[in-house]
Structure 1
Amino acid sequence: MTLYLDYNSTTPLENGVVETISVALREEWGNPSSSHSFGKVAKVSIEKARRNLAVMINGNDNDIIFTSGGTEANNLVIFSAVESYRKWVETQKNVPSDKPHIITSDVEHDAILLPLKHLKSRGDIDVSFVSAAPSGSIKVEDVISRIKTRTCLITIMFANNETGVIMPITDLGRAISKTNELRVKKRLFKILFHTDAAQAIGKVPVDVEVSKVDYMTIVGHKFYGPRIGCIYARDVGVTTPLYPIIFGGGQERGFRPGTENTAMIAGLGKAAELVIENLDKYMKHFICIKEYLLLRLQEEFGDSVVFNCHNDENHILPNTCNISLLGMSLTGSDILAACKTVVASIGAACHSQNKPSSILISSGVSPELARSAVRLSLGRETSKEDIDLATADLKQAVESLKK
């Protein structure tokens, strides 16, 4: 028996999503750009999916652009913001052609950090990294204080994939809007605001109007959809710039060329439809099971278990629990390797398993605790019986390692 508790890494496809993809593969295989009946059928399927994704985040259909996944979407935002600033400078008088400036946090996913570091290493941009320590959450005032006259983009994740900390995106959005009101009067570049919502979709309410974001990244395989994604860009191409980073045909209105992957887009749309219909149910389930998980961990490990970043200051994803064990001198990798049934992770799947998580350390977790950290992330079908078995397995793993 295997107990999968790594849903923040990836989720299985929902049955309804599998069926939708299967139908699309059989019946919607035409080229969506073709004007004949086969193309029209595929086009209708794509537009239905676009509509579902827009409704899920309270956006407009036309502002959804499909991508291969979250990494491409994040890169698309970053390169678009930089290009937009450069074009703006060219139209202004008496504006020095300084490097564009971007603000982010030090706990972002590599799909944000690495493009920024790449552009910085080439001398194309300046970057300010806002610290999430000591609580694990960034502070709005810390972000706003880093703004410069040449700031073009602020990108802060909606929720952290390792700690589960939900960032104050709504408060930050309001603060950026107020800042932009003053910047417009001073004829400065309007700061663009992006959030990678990969870990939040399907777990907590996400609303682009409430959060006031210009861009939002959506990733299918984090909410029981296929491994593609999309970018939301408010009033795309008009008030919010989006420049292609690949070139070809005119698909997705030229913002993201390439013949559309109809079946996967249809599956993504179905996953969004399920979130629209069932989010309250999903949240109640996550909250119930997570509360039971915390209780059982405390019963098994007592005062030796530490819940990383779970404090009164933070809001945490209802499905995510990052734990460390005090005084055990064990690594998270050792603990998971000794488990007989539990399948989990020590952090992001794309990071090294041999050293403490840089995300945890940047979130204020000590190196000692970071070394022994294990991330347990729950799914829609995780039961209390699963939690009983999982906590017992973690207990036996620790006991066997101590011997």
Structure 2
Amino acid sequence: MANKFDGITIVTGHTLYDESLNDHTLHHLPDINPERIYMDYNATTPLEPEVLQAVSTALQDAWGNPSSNHIAGATAKAIIYQSRQSVARMVGGKAEDIIFTSGGTEANNLVLHTAVEYFQKNCGAAEQGEGLQNGCRGLPHIITSNIEHDSIQQVASHLQKEGKAEVTFVPVSRVSGCIEVEDVIAAVRPNTCLISVMLANNETGVIMPLQEICQRVKFLNKQRERLRILLHTDAAQALGKIPVDVQELGVDYLTIVGHKFYAPRIGALFVNGPGSRTPLYPMLFGGGQERNFRPGTENTPMIAGLGKSVFRDKIRFNNRFPGSDILPNTINMSILGPTLQGWRVLSTCRRLLASVGAACHSASGNRPSHILLSCGVPTEVAANALRVSVGRGTTKAEVDAVVEDLRETVQLLEEMN
């Protein structure tokens, strides 16, 4: 028995027949062996159970059109808003800086499309002989590396082939596998409008010096009157593995890919003040969703899953300082969120007994620890701090139970909010 869908036939027994293949090849889909160990997480990740539940709940309860002015639409709109906040917190941005997309490929295409249009809109006067000193002659120039994902490399190559842009593919070092900052700066031209370098490479895992590149480029931008260089990073492989903060990096755009960190196959683009501080021009036109930057009725269930998956990235460790060793039994962390103050979390936990700071300072009430503030931890982060310290008799099972206790507590407090 078989079911046929648009030229593809699914046959019982895990056999797939694809009519689009000239040789009518039969593809056999292997059964999933539970004893096998999955080790291809850079390609894609499975959904976390709570993410799957969030998607399922949204499919059942938030099926309304988010643009509709009734309760069904309002329910969907509220989920999208909450997810936007969660994704923004994950990367250190604001909710209004997040534009949901179908995935990382669309987000990357949107950035390169914007860079070309940004050049054209700002340098149109050069056609009449103005703005020579501002680099407005010729085509827009884009700088990227020679190890970017295809959704950057192929778009840039297409623009170059079509005569719409000039592109420099800066080679990475054969010694370090890393792009050299000086090579990027040396490639800058008067007509350079975009630098796009991935944050971490998907095959080697090498982390690129984005923060230093951004600092150097911002210095160059101070000397430009009209055409500033826009800064973009594809953070698909970095999110969920290393701390990512757009303010610390200094980028204008950052690409987010959900299925790389246990979320659904959906993406988002961080834009630092879209349409105001940072240009963003749509590739699609339609009903005005996503503030006209990416129109089309929002995929509420996938957006809900993306927002839920961010839980694992909401932990901020307050006692990790570069070059400093720490006690092996002590963790000072904050779970980021407007209702997740340390005292509130601890008072709601069913099993965990811990503190928000030193016991001798417990009389100070719910004020953030002055120790953390003195160490440069932001006030809103310090307010959510928890100090967890283990002893000789602490077992792994107890640690696992505490993690689950915290997970359930955070979920409860967010639902109450």
Assess same fold via TM > 0.5: yes
Cross-structure match for 1:105: 145
Contact 1:226 1:267 in 2 (8 A): yes
Structure 1 counterpart SS, 2:233: strand
Structure 2 counterpart SS, 1:267: helix
Structure 1 counterpart SS, 2:45: coil
Find out whether 1:198 has 2:236 as its counterpart.
yes
Match of 2:195 among 154, 164, 187: 154
Q: CA deviation at 1:3?
A: 1.2
Find out whether 1:230 has 2:286 as its counterpart.
no
Match of 2:97 among 63, 69, 78: 63
Find out whether 1:179 has 2:217 as its counterpart.
no
Cross-structure match for 1:86: 120
Instruction: Name the aligned partner's letter for residue 71 of structure 2.
Output: S
Structure 1 counterpart SS, 2:55: helix
CA distance in structure 2 between the partners assigned to 1:232 and 1:260 by the alignment: 17
Instruction: Name the aligned partner's letter for residue 85 of structure 1.
Output: F
Q: Which one has a bigger Cα radius of gyration? A: 2
Structure 2 counterpart SS, 1:246: coil
Cross-structure match for 1:143: 184
Match of 2:284 among 234, 246, 255: 246
Instruction: Name the aligned partner's letter for residue 219 of structure 2.
Output: K
Instruction: Name the aligned partner's letter for residue 264 of structure 1.
Output: M
Q: CA deviation at 1:234?
A: 0.4
Contact 1:45 1:266 in 2 (8 A): yes
Gap runs ≥5 in structure 2 = 1-34, 319-417
CA distance in structure 1 between the partners assigned to 2:310 and 2:168 by the alignment: 34
Find out whether 1:255 has 2:296 as its counterpart.
no
C-alpha distance after superposition, 1:350-378 (max 9, x if no partner): xxxxxxxxxxxxxxxxxxxxxxxxxxxxx
Q: Would the alpha carbon gap of residues 182 and 146 (structure 1) be closer, same or farther in structure 2, given more than 3 Å must change?
A: same
CA distance in structure 2 between the partners assigned to 1:34 and 1:216 by the alignment: 30
Structure 2 counterpart SS, 1:4: coil
Cross-structure match for 1:341: none
CA distance in structure 2 between the partners assigned to 1:239 and 1:35 by the alignment: 31
CA distance in structure 1 between the partners assigned to 2:131 and 2:239 by the alignment: 43
Instruction: Name the aligned partner's letter for residue 70 of structure 1.
Output: G
Instruction: Name the aligned partner's letter for residue 127 of structure 1.
Output: V
Instruction: Name the aligned partner's letter for residue 240 of structure 1.
Output: T
Q: CA deviation at 1:275?
A: 1.4
Match of 1:44 among 68, 72, 78: 78
Instruction: Name the aligned partner's letter for residue 265 of structure 2.
Output: R
Find out whether 1:121 has 2:161 as its counterpart.
yes
User: Which is richer in helix?
Assistant: 1
Instruction: Name the aligned partner's letter for residue 176 of structure 1.
Output: V
CA distance in structure 1 between the partners assigned to 2:316 and 2:211 by the alignment: 23
Q: CA deviation at 1:133?
A: 2.6
Q: CA deviation at 1:278?
A: 7.8
CA distance in structure 2 between the partners assigned to 1:103 and 1:214 by the alignment: 15
What count of residue pairs does the alignment treat as equivalent? 277
Contact 1:203 1:279 in 2 (8 A): no
Cross-structure match for 1:212: 250
Instruction: Name the aligned partner's letter for residue 148 of structure 1.
Output: R
CA distance in structure 1 between the partners assigned to 2:89 and 2:229 by the alignment: 26
C-alpha distance after superposition, 1:142-177 (max 9, x if no partner): 101100000000000000000000001111111111
TM-score by length of 2: 0.65
Of 240-249 and 111-120, the range deviating more from structure 2: 240-249
Structure 2 counterpart SS, 1:120: helix
Cross-structure match for 2:207: 166
Q: CA deviation at 1:188?
A: 4.0
Q: CA deviation at 1:94?
A: 3.8
TM-score by length of 1: 0.67
C-alpha distance after superposition, 1:111-134 (max 9, x if no partner): 000000001000110011111131
Q: CA deviation at 1:277?
A: 3.5
Contact 1:204 1:279 in 2 (8 A): no
Q: Would the alpha carbon gap of residues 23 and 79 (structure 1) be closer, same or farther in structure 2, given more than 3 Å must change?
A: same
Instruction: Name the aligned partner's letter for residue 215 of structure 2.
Output: R
Instruction: Name the aligned partner's letter for residue 304 of structure 2.
Output: A
Instruction: Name the aligned partner's letter for residue 15 of structure 1.
Output: P
Q: CA deviation at 1:181?
A: 1.1
Of 225-234 and 237-246, the range deviating more from structure 2: 237-246
CA distance in structure 2 between the partners assigned to 1:208 and 1:260 by the alignment: 25
Q: Would the alpha carbon gap of residues 279 and 200 (structure 1) be closer, same or farther in structure 2, given more than 3 Å must change?
A: farther
Cross-structure match for 1:300: none
Instruction: Name the aligned partner's letter for residue 114 of structure 2.
Output: S
Q: CA deviation at 1:274?
A: 2.6
Contact 1:14 1:225 in 2 (8 A): yes
C-alpha distance after superposition, 1:245-304 (max 9, x if no partner): 111110000000000000000000011133113889xxxxxxxxxxxxxxxxxxxxxxxx
CA distance in structure 2 between the partners assigned to 1:207 and 1:278 by the alignment: 11
Cross-structure match for 2:335: none
Contact 2:142 2:168 in 1 (8 A): yes
Q: Tell me the C-alpha RMSD between the 2 structures.
A: 1.3
Instruction: Name the aligned partner's letter for residue 275 of structure 1.
Output: D
Identity of aligned residues (%): 53
